[in-house]
Structure 1
Amino acid sequence: MLKSREVKIQSSTSSENEFLDTLRIQKQVVIDSVQSGLMARSRENEFSPRTAPGYHAWSAIVKDLRFQLKTLNWGVPKYENGLDLIVSPLLNINIVVSSGDKDTGLKNTSPRLNNEKGKGFKSTVDLNYDLFDEFESFNSAMAYDTNQTWILLYYINEDCSEAHFEISLPISLENGQVTGWKKRFIFDPIIRSQPAFNKKDVEANFSEEIDLVITRKNG
């Protein structure tokens, strides 16, 4: 487990140039990917399995972001340590997609992941922690010389009328949960004019992770 440390959290809406200089990605690429997730979730209704809205939103975002970034020669899809990543070999940057809580995409907050992550996620984020022990301050050059993992964190409200999201750099992790952010690029929320189906007895947030238990028959 990582020891506690004070972390400076930068929490402000980024400019196009700042985001582009840091990650070399046009902001519209991220916006389009989250829009795909919002639309995928909005297509679910009362007959959908309980986990379907959250899973399909997450899957659509991952798929769209991977497709766009590969098309732009930014990076390639990769599955490692149980994580579905988008990896830029040139910049040594990883991006992982995860749902977040209601503080996601809001200024002056410290958002949390929607669910606790496992050992693979911890080992990946631990690399960020080690890097910032070595380098006292964040700068764009460091992003190109070291291996960093950023999180595309998103939150879709219950009636699918809004999506809040950000791409942020985690710096500390405890018990499978991010406890500190070094840098947050916050996007303007996506607002839908027509809210989707709203079912009160369905939780507002769904996990993108599904655990399956398979029992083999003997004989």
Structure 2
Amino acid sequence: MSYDTDHVQNAGGTPERITGIHTFTDLVNNVALAALYTNIRSKGTATGPELVDEAAVSKKTVYDYLSTLASAGLITDIGEENGATTYAAEDFELTLTVRDVAVSITPSLVAVLSHRDEYPVIDRVLEEHGLLTFALAHDLVMDHHEGEVTIRQIGDLTGLSSGMTYDLVDAIYAIRDFGESASSPETYTPSTVDSKQHNGDETEE
């Protein structure tokens, strides 16, 4: 039996216990924590020793983070392998709504955020424009990959500068392994756009 209320969906007679809500938001700010969760999720399952070998933080920090993620229900102990605990990542969606505008933190978004150290533009967007704009830009880049929006439209819809838009598109394309984004600035300078529009050619990549 399950039922929905104003705040809880798919509740049953004994709903799951969710604790450590701050851990969900820490996934946005803590690169190492985000990377650990993402690593487990991408592997399907992983043991502590495997994660320690691949982590950029100390063994103690890895096990502290595993405990934190497990306490929050974000990973689950599914048994042992060669005497080591094996973990699996749980999917989740944390949605925050303010003034009718909602932004969701999901594993897909966390996977991109886990690369903040490699791509400074991610930090720049978050610091200068906030999580909502970053999440919107992320989704628009996914749409760009599907050919549904142009890079110029991404900048217009998010309020990001041209340079920041190009850099973010390139970063997300690299993280997602989409290949070349065809977003070089020389292709999209204002003069180039104006020239195309003047000549009746408004095609953009």
> TM over 0.5, yes or no?
no
TM-score by length of 1: 0.22
Find the structure with the greater CA-based Rg.
Answer: 2
TM-score by length of 2: 0.23
Structure number with higher strand proportion: 1
Structure number with higher helix proportion: 2
